[in-house]
Amino acid sequence: MYIGNLSKFTQTTIILIIIIIGLVYGKSLLLPLIFAIIFWVLMRKLKSTVNKISVFRKYVPNWIKNLSLSIIVIGAIYFISSIISSNIETIVEGYDTYEKNFKILLTSINDTLGIDIKDTIIGEKDISTTVSSLVETIASSLTNMLSNVFMILLYMLFIFLEEKNFYQKLKLIFTENNKYQSVSTTLTELEESVSNYLGVKTLVSLITGILSTIALSLIGVDAPVFWGLIIFILNYIPTIGSLIGTLFPAVFCLFQFADITSSILTLVIVGSIQLVIGNILEPKLVGNSMNISALVAIVALSFWGLIWGTTGMILSVPITVIMVIIFSKFENTRAMAILLSDKGNV
């Protein structure tokens, strides 16, 4: 009995190790596919919303709806990439000014506190190297996020082509004991949970990004639309995303204004926007659609962040929601679904 259990445990461990290795080394293949599926789910949600209008449901062919929504997604991606490209150029052009202001700020802090901040924090590195490294890191991260756009769009095209015959294939595969109905119901639950969460998260992130852009414009921060977009993207990362999104423009103010007051003002205003929307508006809209505990969300954030970096953090909650739903459908994994869920209701 003990040997059998040990053997089963060993097999499970080996399978998990193989899966993790596959996730790490299959990143370039899996991430575009996952994003394509997510966009496809969101577009199906939009299409079902549009179909509630009788005119569109009766007179607009399905292929026209798919084409229109695809054009909207492509347009949004192009708009985002254009903003990122133009604003990165703006930031790079102001590099000399930011470097000069940063030196002024360090001198002011040194005189006020009577300590050498440069030697204490930066060490022997040149200030210009530090500033340049920060700018290059931001630019590189954003460029990498857009590098797989073509593959995502290609996957989406073939998913739409496959969608027409997908459920017919399922009927042919699951022909016994209402298995097709069970699988179909599970897929519907997955689609509704993920689309509801991502839909609400997108709306909340959009509101946060727009309000932050307006606030940063009034403060006079360079490239406010760029920082609003950064806040919008980072808001998808649970817990720490809003914090990082608030710190980025606040730190940038130190380079632009060489003044702590502007940085603190940015931190307070943008942080207040994040606080109000994240703690009042978002909980009311999201409700129990996630159905995962706070501890599980943090662990998932750390795990997927370790596996896939920033992109993994963004995907951590949807992936965990999918795992809870799938685990709940099988007797052997139902206990795991209960542990992952918020209140044990699966």
User: What's residue 208's pLDDT?
Assistant: 93
User: Looking at residues 60-71, what average pLDDT do you find?
Assistant: 78
As a whole number of angstroms, the distance between CA 286 and CA 297 comes to: 15
Summarize pLDDT for 97-108 with one digit per residue, the tens: 777 777 777 777
| Residue 1: band (very low, low, confident or very high) from pLDDT cuts 50, 70, 90 | very low
11-20, 114-123, 277-286, 323-332: which range is least confident on average?
114-123
- List phi, psi (to 5°) of 136: -65, -35
Candidates 315, 318, 73, 37; CA nearest to 159 is 37
Summarize pLDDT for 327-342 with one digit per residue, the tens: 887 787 888 888 888 7
Per-state percent for the chain, helix, strand, coil, to nearest 5: 85, 0, 15
Average model confidence (pLDDT) for the chain? Answer: 78
Candidates 141, 78, 121; CA nearest to 311 is 141
pLDDT value at 137 more than 80 = no
Candidates 61, 136, 94, 113; CA nearest to 255 is 94
As a whole number of angstroms, the distance between CA 261 and CA 18 comes to: 51
Q: Alpha helices, DSSP H only, in 174-259? A: 179-219, 224-234, 240-257
Helix (H) or strand (E) holding 278: none
As a whole number of angstroms, the distance between CA 229 and CA 239 comes to: 18
Q: Which tops the pLDDT comparison, 52 or 9? A: 52
139-153, 237-251, 302-316, 331-345: which range is least confident on average?
139-153
Q: What percent of the chain has pLDDT over 70?
A: 82
| Residue 290: band (very low, low, confident or very high) from pLDDT cuts 50, 70, 90 | low
Q: What percent of the chain has pLDDT over 90?
A: 7
Encoded amino acid at 335, one letter? A
CB-based contact 127:102 (threshold 8 Å): yes
User: Looking at residues 66-88, what average pLDDT do you find?
Assistant: 75
Summarize pLDDT for 158-185 with one digit per residue, the tens: 888 888 788 888 888 887 767 888 888 8
pLDDT value at 130 more than 70 = no
